[in-house]
Structures are given as structure tokens and as C-alpha cells.
Amino acid sequence: MKLATLKTGGRDGTLVVVSRDLVTCQAVPKIAHTLQAALDDWDHAEPQLRKIYERLNAGTADKAESFIEEECHSPLPRAYQWCDGSAYINHVELVRKARNAEVPASFYSDPLMYQGGSDRFVGPCDPIAVLSEDWGVDLEAEVAVVTGDVPMGASVEEAAGAIRLVMLVNDVSLRNLIPNELAKGFGFYQSKPASAFSPVAVTPDELGEAWVDSKLHLPILVTLNDQPFGRPNAGEDMTFSFARLVAHAAMTRELGAGSIIGSGTVSNKQGGLHGSSIENGGVGYCCLAEVRMYETIEGGKPQTPFLSFGDTVRIEMVDAGGASIFGAIDQEVTRYHRK
């Protein structure tokens, strides 16, 4: 099943069920006005939403409308929780290698995770609005899941069963603010502005054979200024599955329905250099920081700049037949202006 949120209807938008081919959609006010409301009462809402989904796919829905990605907000325009793991250790290895540091052994058994801001996400086609290019604006292409309620101390198996939806994320990062912020010891805050999620969130069953043991085995496609930039496989080199990340998040507290847990930047190892660009025959990257680390390792300093005003980022994933699964995150970096 595929779900999305149109921007109309207030801060939380309007929930719509979307056809598998992303061509039609239908609002479902009698079932749930918003995605959060559906998640709050999932056992009751889900079977009803699936009936609409089946009718949309069969072309028999009585209130189908055209589905337009640009009219979407993030599936949860705001959420009660957004936690981002760092499950692709290659990303961490590369960062450490660039400064000749070892990756602690515990990083392979104890997930890295930070608590992100969730009070205002931006829509998938909304700008990445910043006050200054000097902040070092970077993309981070990731996969994320949305959970139901999870009890404290949930097992990995229980956590797997609590995964309700899967989507893509651009976890925008302000690289030049990170060193000072992490040095303070309390983690990211100002260096992680509002994220954008894919127009469509899908139930795990929708992913078929690509969803194995709570990992999504498909390439995530990143385009930068209309040029292919990355296509690593999100199922490869993922040290911690989503179930493992959810269980980590729930170790000392219950998770409320609608919690979003991210994978961290997708990153494939590709041998000794921890990565290779698409033009050099590799699968490329999901963030500029990795290219810059590679350049630092090779040449002593980074060459590729961070994002500038006017730069565009597109993040998508297609199925075996080439059809877009989640719709596309498609953003341009702009200067922030107050509304």
C-alpha cells in the first residue's frame, strides 16, 4: 500500500492513498484525515486503507484524482520523533580514514543514532532554504521507516513487526557547523536543519523481494544538478537493519506511533577506497562529504564544494521494472525568506 500527504488541509495536510503506479490518489476523510491519525489507530485504519488501495489499482475507485508529487508534503509534515541512525559504517570508516583515526570496535555492534528535529519537515519538492551558503550545505540520501507503538526493551523481532511504512529522506546537513557542534559534546542541533521525505510512504509488503530482514535491497538514485551522482544499494553494507535500529531506539523508552527511524547516509564499500564515483565506474555517493573525504585521502584536501544556491538534488528509487516506488525528492538550494 502507498500513502501520501497533500499540502492542503492544515499543518498536518491531508492523507491520500496512492495507486501503485503513482498516477491516481484518493483522500480518505472517513478513515483518517492525516497520516498520524491513521498510525495512531493503525489496526483499525489499515484494512480500510487497503481496500481503497485495491480499488485505485483496479481503476474502480469512485473518488480517484490525479496524483501530483509536487502537491505533496512529506508523508508526516511534522512528527513526534525523528531519529537517524548511521547504519552504513563505510560512511564512518571514510570519515575516520580522512583524519587517520580508527573506527572503535563498538561501532560494529552498537548503532550510532542521533535525535533529529521533527517539528517542521519540508515537502519533497520544497527548497532547501538556508540563510547562508557558508554553512556548508550537503545532502544525505537515506531510507527511513515509520513505526507503530514499540514497548521499551523490544526485541529485534518485535521491532521488525512494528515497522509500518518505508520512505526516502534527504537529511540535509550543514557540514561547516558540525565540527564545532560535535566538539561541544551534545550531538547535532543547528547542523541538522529540516529534512525532506519522499512524496510517498509504502508498507513493507509493497517492496516484495527487495525487503529482506528489514533491509531494502535496491539502489538509491541520487542526481545532482541533473548529473548521476550516486546509486549505491541500500541493502548492501548496512551493518544494522531497520529492526535493529528500532530496537536500539526503544531500549530505554517506549516509541510512540509515527516515530521515524532513518538509516543514515547510504554508502557502499566498493573495496579499499571505501567508494568510487559513477564516472570512475563506481556506484557513487549519497552525500558530498564522502567525495570530499575521498579527495582528502587521495590529495590531502577536498576539491568538491558543498551545495550553492541554485543547485538541485534529486533522490529516488525504482523497482525492477524501472517504475518509481516512492516518487522523487526534488529540491533546490535557495536563500531562506520569511513567509
Interface ranges with its own copies (CB under 8 A):
10-11, 40, 78-81, 83, 86, 104, 106-107, 110, 112-120, 129-131, 135, 151-153, 174, 177, 180, 182, 184-191, 193-194, 248-249, 251-256, 258-259, 336, 338-339
Strand partners, 329: 315
- Beta carbon nearer to its own copies, 40 or 295: 40
Minimum Å gap between C-beta 270 and its own copies is: 25
Nearest to 115 by CA among 144, 81, 87, 148: 81
Cα gap 321→327, rounded to integer Å: 15
Count of beta carbons in the 10 Å neighbourhood of residue 244: 20
DSSP 8-state class, residue 284:
B
128 versus 328: smaller Cβ distance to its own copies? 128
Distance of CA 33 to CAs 174, 182, 229, Å? 34, 39, 37
Q: What is the DSSP letter of 324?
A: B
Phi, psi dihedrals of residue 250, rounded to the nearest 5°? -95, 10
For 71-107, the DSSP string reads GEE-SSSS-S-EEEE---HHHHHHHHHHTT-PPPGGG
Are 26 and 57 a contacting pair, CB within 8 Å?
Answer: no
Evaluate whether 268 touches 232 at the Cβ level (below 8 Å).
yes
Q: Considering the complex, state which of residue 81 and residue 270 has its C-beta at the smaller distance from its own copies.
A: 81
Nearer to its own copies, 179 or 208 (CB): 179
| For its own copies, the closer CB: 184 or 301 | 184
306 three-state secondary structure? coil
Q: How far is CA 290 from CA 191, 216, 293, 295, in A?
A: 17, 21, 5, 9
Q: Work out how close the CB of 102 gets to its own copies at its nearest, in angstroms, rounded to a whole number.
A: 14
The SS3 assignment for 22 reads coil
Nearer to its own copies (CB atom), residue 122 or residue 210:
122
**Rounded least distance, CB 24 to its own copies, Å:** 31
Task: Using only the alpha carbons of the chain, give its radius of gyration.
Answer: 19
CB of 313 to its own copies, least distance (A): 18
Q: What is the nearest approach in angstroms of its own copies to the Cβ of residue 129?
A: 8
Among candidates 202, 211, 188, 12, which has minimal Cα distance to 83? 188
Q: How far is the CB of 256 from its own copies (least distance, A)?
A: 4
Q: How far is the CB of 320 from its own copies (least distance, A)?
A: 35
